[in-house]
Chain A
Amino acid sequence: MNLLLLLVSAILINNFVLHYFLGICPFLGVSKKINASFSMGIAVTFVLTLTAVVSWAINHWLLIPFHLEYLQIVSFILVIASLVQLVEMFVRKTSPPLYQALGIYLPLITVNCSIMGLALLASLKEYGFLETVVFGIGAGSGFTLAIVLLAAVREQLELADIPKPFRGAPIALIVAGIIALAFLGFSGMIKP
């Protein structure tokens, strides 16, 4: 039951993009088309879940027992970079069409704040193993939801006459702000 609440919280109440501001670069950069956004979302969810597992393992089997918590930042980022590299090689070997579809997005995931952010937040909140995995899945799903929503609106905006200074990033941010406002309504869903 607790895990379900955690999942709902990660997707809706404390949405990774709209509440924690993690993953803004791809959020703004990739959200011009719904299809691309959805692919990006799936890729990110996959890497997030994988990272959740590995970061928990490193934290609990290496850093904490040996009192090396201060090496957290260095170890996490190196692991994430390697993980993304491995995922890219794996996807290229096993499914060339998928690799074609995801293209440049995969290497970009390394500097996606949400991956590092997930590892750090899960560590900060002292989640157990299962909680961390659920948190990862929830974070990725929340990211996918947010980016697809933004892409849906932006595709419509293509047909609108937007004042010059607002075209591109500014109007995307304003739309994101309105979506974030709507998501605020999800707060308090889980009664204490």
Chain B
Amino acid sequence: MPDKSLAGEFIKGLWDENPIFRQLLGMCPTLAVTNALLNGLAMGLAVTFVLISSAVLVSLVRKLIPNQVRIASFILIIATFVTISDRFMAAFFPALSKSLGPYVPLIVVNCIILGRAEAFGSKNPIGRSLVDAMGMSLGFLFSLLLLSGVRELLGSGSLFGHRVLGAWFEPWVVMLLPPGAFLSLGILIAAALFVEAKLKKRRVL
């Protein structure tokens, strides 16, 4: 694989290897908490904290951990950071913690985090791992905000809790419910693939 520049490592997480739209990882929280922009933002920030902290720590200790126990160690490290973010949120943002419910603890099984630690953090120096984690987190946050924006706008006529569509708009309640989540994500991924194909055609020509 060609040696990517640090900038390249960062940018790939935003589009080419976007965790949700391209790699299809971390779907569970994506579908569950994107019924409001505030929830999507909070989840994205929590995942950013855990992803960056664990990627850096795993990269720091990667030479010390024997192969056979690496998954167990990674899981322990990730679980620790997830617990920290969960407790922090419960202490300082109780209302948000309540709306996100069990999905913050579920970050520990979010494929993105273990996947990045295994595929990247354990094989690369801190600098690269940090930048990779930052890119992935931002890509994940971006996808969450996009999906939350669509769902909240169509489902409640509001953005971040403030009503933006007038009284003429009858909210599509289904958007706030599970079916709406599935449908929106499916259409967004198709749109992303469509845009990708169009861009590729233009690059070739």
Contact = CB atoms under 8 A, between A and B. Distances in A.
Direct A–B touching in the complex (beta carbon < 8 Å)?
A: yes
Contact of A21 (B110, B114, B181, B183): B181
Interface residues of A, number: 43
B79 A78 contact: yes
A120 B106 contact: yes
Contact of A73 (B83, B101, B111, B182): B83
A77 B79 contact: yes
B76 interface: yes
B75 interface: yes
Nearest to B196: A165
Chain A at the B interface: SS class = helix
Nearest to B184: A177
User: Secondary structure of the B side of the interface?
Assistant: helix
A70 interface: yes
Nearest to A117: B106
Given A70-B87, A174-B183, A177-B180, A111 B72 contact: no
Contact of A70 (B28, B83, B101): B83
A73 B189 contact: no
B27 A73 contact: no
A186 interface: no
Interface string B76-120: 100110110011000000000000011001101111001000000
Given A70-B87, A73-B86, A170-B186, A28 B109 contact: no
A180 B179 contact: yes
Interface of B: 24-25, 27-29, 31-32, 71-72, 75-76, 79-80, 82-83, 86-87, 101-102, 105-106, 108-111, 114, 174, 177-183, 185-187, 189-191, 193-194, 197
